[in-house]
Structure 1
Amino acid sequence: MRENGDFRTGFLTSQTWSIIRRRAPIVPWCKGIWFKEATPKYSFLCWLAAHNRLSTGDRLLMWNPQATATCWLCNAATETRDHLFFECAYSEEVWRGTVRGLVATGSSVLWSHLVHCLVHGLQDRITTFLFRYCFQAVVSAIWYERNARRVGEAPKPAARVILFLDKLIRNRISSLRKRAGNNYEKAMKRW
């Protein structure tokens, strides 16, 4: 079926999608979350975080007043999206340890500032890609660690998570270098 209601013998996914989807204005953070070189599961998790739809302690408390709302990573504050990414001492250490060569040492860890940097980019295309990918990888690693602790697994030290993220990002750069040729040669040098 077409948008005007006529039937058609062929099927086009794009036309079907246009008919069934609800159109909304493009949000400002879109290009910082959905970018070409992103890993889809990381993008999706960041999309949920950008919409503030992750089941953080403050949201769980709204559904169940007996739920634990304390941060599982630092046990010091109410777990909100902004606290978890990256106002919490643990997640801040992981974030700063991961992006130590990309951004200034004293740069902000506020969610709104980081999203602004995701959207507007940093110095150049390679640094912007690395920053965006680091952001998504760290958000994913922090969320994974938080959930692991929540179900009783032993806490991982921040240094171990940082090493894991460094290897993950190096592997991603290597895969892009193989696929995209020289376009990402500078990324490994920058990293």
Structure 2
Amino acid sequence: MGNSYTEEWSAILAFMSQLKLSRVESFLARYVFQSAVYVIWRERNSRNHGENPRPLENLFRTIDKMIKNRVMSLRTQDKRLEKALQVWIAYVELKLFFFLFSSVLKK
């Protein structure tokens, strides 16, 4: 898939299944995907029932919270995923840094 955009479900699933990542990174990538699909579906459903759209930032926060909660619950069950929370927080902080840095450069 690379940098290209697709709405083809089979292409998205093929891309997700071909990722060459560590156990922790693979878990996080799959769970982020699952959480994003769920949050987008829920947002679409809410809009179809007349609710106001939520800001994109709220959707990202919801996904972040879902991932942190899931990782916290798994840390006691699977010792191989103990570093997942550290990896996730580092990833989110890095993305936030680049977002803030790029917005400063645009000014």
Same fold (TM over 0.5): yes
Tell me what 2:29 maps to. 131
Q: Structure 1: any 5+ residue segments left out of the alignment?
A: 1-105
User: CA shift at 1:177, angstroms?
Assistant: 0.2
Q: Distance in 2 between matches of 1:114 and 1:185?
A: 28
In the alignment, is the contact (CA less than 8 A) between 1:118 and 1:128 conserved in 2?
Answer: no
Q: TM-score, normalised by structure 2?
A: 0.70
Question: Are 1:118 and 1:132, in contact at CA under 8 Å, matched by a contact in 2?
Answer: yes
The 2-side partners of 1:123 and 1:154 are apart by 38
Structure 2 residue 4 is matched with structure 1 residue 118 = no
Kindly report the root-mean-square deviation, in angstroms, between the aligned alpha carbons of the 2 structures: 1.7
Task: Assess, with a 3 A threshold, how the Cα gap between structure 1 residues 175 and 126 changes in structure 2: closer, same or farther.
Answer: same
Q: Which residue of 1 aligns with 2:99?
A: none
Could you tell me the percent identity over the aligned residues?
A: 39
In structure 2, relative to structure 1, the CA distance for the partners of 1:108 and 1:189 (3 Å cut) is farther
Work out which of the residue numbers 76, 85, 97 in structure 2 matches 1:178. Answer: 76
Q: Which amino acid aligns with 1:134?
A: V
Distance in 2, Cα, partners of 1:177 & 1:170: 11
1:161: which partner in 2?
59
Cα separation, partners in 2 of 1:124 and 1:143, compared to 1, 3 Å: same
Larger of the two Rg values belongs to structure = 1
Residues 108 and 186 of structure 1: CA distance in aligned 2, closer, same or farther (over 3 Å): farther
1:148 counterpart = 2:46: yes
Q: Which runs of 5+ in 2 are unaligned?
A: 89-107
Instruction: Give 2:55's aligned amino acid.
Output: P
- Larger RCO (alpha carbons 8 Å, 6+ apart): 2
- 1:16-61 per-residue CA deviation (whole Å, 9 max, x = no partner) reads xxxxxxxxxxxxxxxxxxxxxxxxxxxxxxxxxxxxxxxxxxxxxx
Tell me the amino acid that sits aligned with residue 24 of structure 2: I
Report the CA distance shift for 1:131/1:155 in structure 2 as closer, same or farther (over 3 A). same
CA offset digits 1:106-153 (Å, max 9, x no partner)? 844424543223212232121111111111110011010001001101
Q: How many residues align?
A: 85
CA gap of 1:139–1:120, structure 2 versus 1, over 3 A, is: same
